[in-house]
Amino acid sequence: MKIPKNIIPRDSYISKIKPFINTSLIKVLTGQRRVGKSYLLFQLINLISERDSEANIIYINLEDLSFDDIKTAKDLNNYITNRITSEHTNYVFIDEIQDVEDFEKALRSLALNDNIDIYITGSNAKMLSGELATTLSGRYIEFNVYSLSYLEFLEFHSLNNSDDSLALYMKYGGLPYIINLPMNDDVIFEYLKNIYSTIIYRDVVSRYNLRNTQFLERLVTFLADNVGSLFSAKKISDFLKSQQVSISSQQIQNYIQYLSSAFIILPARRYDIIGKRIFSVGDKYFFENIGIRNAIVGYKTNDIAKILENIVYNHLLFCGYSVKVGVLNTQEIDFVCERNNEKKYVQVSYLLKEKSTIDREFGNLLKIDDNYSKVVVSMDKLAGDGFDGVQHIYIRDFLSTML
């Protein structure tokens, strides 16, 4: 195994994983392809090797042809058990484990050995959460890995925190590999389109044996064009029927679940703030990587409000919040965020030029009868003057904090 040199650390993730090193819990890193899960494994290997010079490191990259013979749980178990030692602690790292049939059975068997510390990555949310929850309930801990946050983007690209840097982030998104490419629309969007195609065909079409690939791509384009809009499968089906495309609501729901499992889109459920319940229909969908969204439908200035809402949503997830769309009687609260039993309410607006916009964004938050933090995020550079306890934050300042 050859670890790349000059790895840029992503300390926010490593600090979360560190307390679980040398514990019996299996560490599971999930996220879209190419967001940097493999490099996090490398960082963990470096960290463990520094702590324990005699550590026995077993690394398996299931995207590498060298490991093509590992196809089943038995293959995986045999490969690892043949390489473990009783004299030293064994650290097992498995990249993209979802490609192994019944992988959870191998993990369950390996986890019986107190001298094995296991770390895995995967790019399929449903498969990992479903199989692991069933077979290894209470014996694993999951870490969601996202594209680079804004501050990580600045660090990776050695950029100052400026409006120009923010514009690049809003256009290209935060896939780590972009640091190796020139900041050129043609080059970067071509790369992002190729990543998108890889995810679509490997993690959706191939995995679920889909035949109607043309509809799948049209659905993704539709969701990209309507980022942050409330939708139900029936509403999408009705729209498509108006375009002479007949697809059942159930099929649309299935396709959306497949896209969500591959982390292309991330759903935000609707939450009744007063009744404290989740609505069964009508979600919003955001893209895990805004650059991929822009590569699919183009980067247009009249989409800035949609892009703004998407990157605010992404940042809230990166900061560890569980994020829902709030419903307060007939009003909508863009995001209801929960973390460690604390709440935060966030409204997102492009610019607060009109009095009606100001009244709506601040007014909706003021109608919430509790004392949790309430924030309006916008592109107004002179943000800072809140109203009646509601903060007003410039988007770049918002993205530059861990909240």
Summarised one tens digit per residue, pLDDT across range 209-235 is 999 998 999 899 999 999 999 888 888
Domain total in the chain:
2
Please indicate, yes or no, whether residues 288 and 323 belong to a single structural domain of this protein.
Answer: yes
361-to-43, 141, 282, 403 alpha-carbon distances in Å: 42, 38, 21, 20
Please indicate, yes or no, whether residues 293 and 167 belong to a single structural domain of this protein.
Answer: yes
Please indicate, yes or no, whether residues 93 and 171 belong to a single structural domain of this protein.
Answer: no
Range of the domain at 383: 150-399
Please indicate, yes or no, whether residues 71 and 126 belong to a single structural domain of this protein.
Answer: yes
Please indicate, yes or no, whether residues 356 and 373 belong to a single structural domain of this protein.
Answer: yes
Please indicate, yes or no, whether residues 123 and 108 belong to a single structural domain of this protein.
Answer: yes
Segments of the chain scoring below 50 in pLDDT: none
Nearest to 217 by CA among 231, 229, 199: 199
Q: Write b or e for each residue in 306-317: b if 16 or more Cβ atoms lie within 10 A of its Cβ, otherwise e.
A: bbbbbbbbbbbb
Residue 335 in domain: yes
User: Would you report the helix, strand and coil content of the chain in percent, each value rounded to 5?
Assistant: 45, 20, 35
Residue 3 in domain: no
- The reported pLDDT for the residue numbered 310 is 98
- The reported pLDDT for the residue numbered 383 is 66
Please indicate, yes or no, whether residues 205 and 237 belong to a single structural domain of this protein.
Answer: yes
Evaluate whether 119 touches 41 at the Cβ level (below 8 Å): yes
Evaluate whether 154 touches 128 at the Cβ level (below 8 Å): no
Residue 76 in domain: yes
Q: Which residues pair with 392 in a beta bridge?
A: 376
Please indicate, yes or no, whether residues 138 and 161 belong to a single structural domain of this protein.
Answer: no
- The reported pLDDT for the residue numbered 388 is 86
Please indicate, yes or no, whether residues 161 and 139 belong to a single structural domain of this protein.
Answer: no
CATH number for the domain spanning 103: value is 3.40.50.300
Q: Is 22 left (phi over 0), alpha (psi -120 to 50) or beta?
A: left
Residue 5 in domain: no
Please indicate, yes or no, whether residues 171 and 78 belong to a single structural domain of this protein.
Answer: no
Please indicate, yes or no, whether residues 218 and 300 belong to a single structural domain of this protein.
Answer: yes
Please indicate, yes or no, whether residues 34 and 180 belong to a single structural domain of this protein.
Answer: no
Its pTM stands at 0.95
